[in-house]
Amino acid sequence: MKETYTYKYTLSQQELAALRSRRAAARKRRERRRRLLLGAAALLASAALLTGGALWLLTRDGPSGGPAPIPPAGEIEDLTEPAAPPDIPASAPAAVPAVSPPHQAVQGPDTARLASEIDSRYAILIDLDTGEILAQKMPGALVSPASMTKILTILTAADHIGGLNGTYVITQEMVDYCRSNGCSTAGFLPGEEVSLTDLFYGTILPSGADAALALACYVAGSQEAFVELMNQKARELGLSSSARFANCIGLYDPDNVCTVYDMAMILWAAMENNVCRTFLTERNRVLPPNGVREEELDLSNWFIRRIEDHMPEGLAVLGAKTGYVSMAGSCAASFAQSRDGREYICVTAKASGGWQCIFDQAAIYAGWAGR
């Protein structure tokens, strides 16, 4: 029978010692590499922190020393300018403009500081006869004005049209732009020739983005060129230095912001403009069918029609423009007149809903107008 052997590989003591020495050296090399990698990572992290800090210092005051950019956050309070004061100084708006404004409202000793009385986060009520701020709530904070922007749109257009006799043909690009941005529209169709009068009504009554775009293009050839005119008008009105506009519709944009005080000044100027006053005080207009559009358009200012049942006796809202974007909540700018002829402007922003915006405005008028 064949004998089987098991061969065992063995090392001498000298070979074992050499193997242990090589293993120890390898461990040392690995440890050295690990320390080098950790050191490099620490240096990179430090460099990143230093770079980030430097960039923050450079940009915290905004490009070219201007106001800091406003992040596109989901709540209007994120649009509040960090350095903005909680109240407007007694002698001037939140930021003193470089030009002498045509109108200015100031605080008085009896100016009410609103808090939980209303749901809206920002508000101002001004007596136009005295120029006194009757009530306010964070009037110097930057907010997204949403479709209240269209008040400045028609005011700017009114300055440049030279009359209401013109017409403009709605383009497919305008309709597509409104659809892609989820804008409210008056309902004009591509190829429809619309009078300037109906473009003004379409901009204000149903808050039509199609009408606002058509006005902008009629006046300046493009929305971009028209926005330059809007910002020029804003400077002429002496709005706060941080107020700026990026579109004629009121779409959310970090560069489409102003304060409720600014919007009150815009509405004040618009109500003194005969063209704008006509369209801001209208409640309803029906446009008949034409060769392009087979159905009539019923254009309505629902804010005026809905708030009248909630206003205090002897006071009526004559003109208004509402606004809403999801990042800004519901807002409104309104013009009211009492039986004895006293005139008021109320602007509110960041209400939790459309009806709440109406209730807030009615409550402000009831509580502080005519005091």
Residue 27: the pLDDT is 53
pLDDT at 95: 46
What element of type H or E holds 16? Answer: helix 13-59
23 assigned to some structural domain: no
351 pLDDT above the threshold of 80? yes
User: What pLDDT, on the 0 to 100 scale, is given for residue 84?
Assistant: 38
Q: Is residue 236 domain-resident?
A: yes
Q: Is 128's pLDDT higher than 60? A: yes
Instruction: Look at residue 357 and tell me if it is in a domain.
Output: yes
pLDDT at position 17: 59
What's residue 297's pLDDT? 96
The answer to whether residue 353 is domain-embedded is yes
167-178 residue pLDDT tens: 999 999 999 999
Domain that holds residue 275: 146-368
Instruction: Say which CATH number the domain at 303 has.
Output: 3.40.710.10
Does a structural domain hold residue 127? no
Query: Considering only CA atoms, which of 270, 284, 202, 260 is closest in space to residue 233?
Result: 270
Q: Which residues pair with 106 in a beta bridge?
A: 132
Q: Are 150 and 332 in contact (CB under 8 A)?
A: no
Q: What digits encode the pLDDT tens for the residues 268-300? A: 999 999 999 999 999 999 999 999 999 999 999
Q: What are phi and psi of 216, to 5 degrees?
A: -60, -45
Q: Report the pLDDT averaged over residues 199-219.
A: 98
Number of domains observed in the structure of the chain: 1
- Higher-confidence residue of 52 and 367: namely 367
Q: How far is CA 69 from CA 11, 133, 261, in A?
A: 74, 29, 20
Looking at this protein, which amino acid is placed at residue 198?
D
- Which residues have C-beta within 8 Å of that of residue 34, sequence separation ≥ 6? none
What is the C-alpha separation between 137 and 193, in angstroms, rounded? 44
Question: Is the residue at 167 inside a domain?
Answer: yes
| pLDDT value of position 74 | 32
Does pLDDT of 55 surpass 60?
no
Count, residues in the chain = 371
pTM score, two decimals?
0.75
CA distance 116 to 114: 7
Residue 1 lies in a domain: no
Tokens for 79?
């649009």
Under the banding of pLDDT at 50, 70 and 90, the label for residue 96 is very low
- Give phi and psi for 20, each to the nearest 5: -60, -40
Do 74 and 329 meet the contact criterion of CB atoms below 8 Å apart? Answer: no
Average pLDDT of the segment spanning 134-141: 97
Q: Is residue 182 part of a domain?
A: yes
